[in-house]
């Protein structure tokens, strides 16, 4: 079970997986929680101290009022304060990547490295945002119907067997889904601010990502001054650290051993 802290009235759930090596904070995708990094936690056990965080509105961390991804980035930094951690690498998939970039902008001296998977630094495309809002409206009106769940699973998980995740998503209320989706589609863009982030970075992206084209990853890799060459995983899906763990954990491990 995750542990929790409370900062300024906000409960933050996390799991400290231990280890004596450099600290890596892992930030999950939309509709997921810290358990999506189970493959990486196992691979990094002993060599790195891995901390997985349940972001606001996900897992065991509530979202009782309005928030944005800057607030979640501050949650991460406050968790590091609580644990007495001065510097950490941050690895984020999709939504987790949005938050990872914001932690690096808020506290550049505290972020030793960034691993960014299946994510974007641009605001949501207006046409895509409108489609997502229609999906949320259907969820609010009719609940998580099978067709909606299948659509979400196809976008996020590709061909990965998804029954376990579908069962979890069916427990999400329409009101809650609408709240957390609104944060995603209304986020601000960061492309013009990428040059401010000087931490070493590794950007990985699936060629079959159904949410963001590879061009979104290329924008990040080109915009970050200390980014390594973009890694494109052939056939990789959107939730890359989970769906294509065997392909991404190796490059991530090598990168973190060098920079974390």
Q: How confident is the model at residue 8 (pLDDT cuts 50, 70, 90)?
A: confident
Residue bearing tokens 């690096």: 104
How many CB atoms within 10 Å of residue 35? 15
Residue 151: its pLDDT value, please? 87
Mean pLDDT of 55-74: 96
Residue 28: its pLDDT value, please? 98
Q: What is the pLDDT of residues 81-128, one digit of tens each?
A: 999 999 999 999 999 999 999 999 999 999 999 999 999 999 999 999
CB 228 within 8 A of CB 135: no
Residue 148: its pLDDT value, please? 83
CA distance 35 to 50: 12
- Whole-number mean pLDDT of the chain? 95
CATH of domain 3-123+188-259: 3.40.50.1820
Q: What is the pLDDT of residues 237-246, one digit of tens each?
A: 999 999 999 9
Total residues belonging to the chain: 260
| Selected residue with higher pLDDT from 29 and 64 | 29
* pTM as predicted: 0.96
Share above pLDDT 90 across residues of the chain, in percent, rounded to a whole number: 83
Residue 203: its pLDDT value, please? 98
Q: How confident is the model at residue 20 (pLDDT cuts 50, 70, 90)?
A: confident
Write phi, then psi, for 158 (nearest 5 degrees): 60, -125
Joined together, the tokens standing for residue 213 give 């084209």
Instruction: Locate all alpha helices (DSSP H) within the chain, ordered by sequence.
Output: 38-44, 69-82, 95-106, 126-142, 146-157, 163-169, 174-185, 214-223, 240-243, 245-259
Q: What is the pLDDT of residues 142-184, one digit of tens each?
A: 888 888 888 889 999 998 888 988 898 999 999 999 999 999 9
Which sequence spans correspond to the domains of the chain? 3-123+188-259, 125-186
Residue 230: its pLDDT value, please? 98
Bridge-partner residues for 24, per DSSP?
Answer: 50, 89
């Amino acid at each position: 079970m995750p542990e929790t802290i409370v900062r300024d009235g906000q409960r933050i759930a996390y799991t400290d997986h231990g280890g004596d090596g450099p600290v890596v904070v892992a930030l999950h995708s939309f509709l997921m929680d810290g358990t999506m990094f189970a493959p990486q936690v196992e691979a990094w056990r002993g060599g790195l101290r891995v901390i997985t965080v349940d972001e606001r509105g996900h897992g065991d961390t509530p979202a009782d009022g309005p928030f944005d991804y800057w607030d979640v980035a501050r949650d991460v930094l406050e968790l590091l304060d609580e644990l007495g951690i001065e510097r950490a690498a941050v690895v984020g998939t999709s939504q987790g990547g949005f938050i990872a970039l914001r932690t690096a902008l808020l506290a550049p001296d505290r972020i030793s490295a960034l691993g960014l998977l299946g994510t974007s630094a641009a605001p949501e495309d207006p046409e895509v945002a409108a489609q997502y809002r229609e999906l949320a409206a259907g969820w609010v009106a009719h609940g998580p119907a099978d067709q909606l769940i299948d659509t979400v699973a196809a976008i996020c998980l590709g061909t990965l067997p998804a029954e376990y995740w579908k069962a979890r998503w069916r427990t999400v209320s329409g009101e809650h889904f609408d709240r957390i989706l609104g944060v995603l589609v209304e986020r601000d863009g960061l492309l013009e601010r990428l040059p401010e982030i000087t931490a070493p970075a590794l950007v990985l992206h699936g060629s079959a990502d159904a949410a963001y084209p590879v061009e979104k990853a290329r924008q990040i890799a080109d915009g970050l001054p200390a980014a390594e060459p973009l890694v494109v995983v052939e056939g990789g899906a959107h939730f890359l650290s989970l769906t294509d763990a065997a392909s991404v954990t190796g490059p991530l491990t090598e990168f973190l051993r060098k920079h974390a």
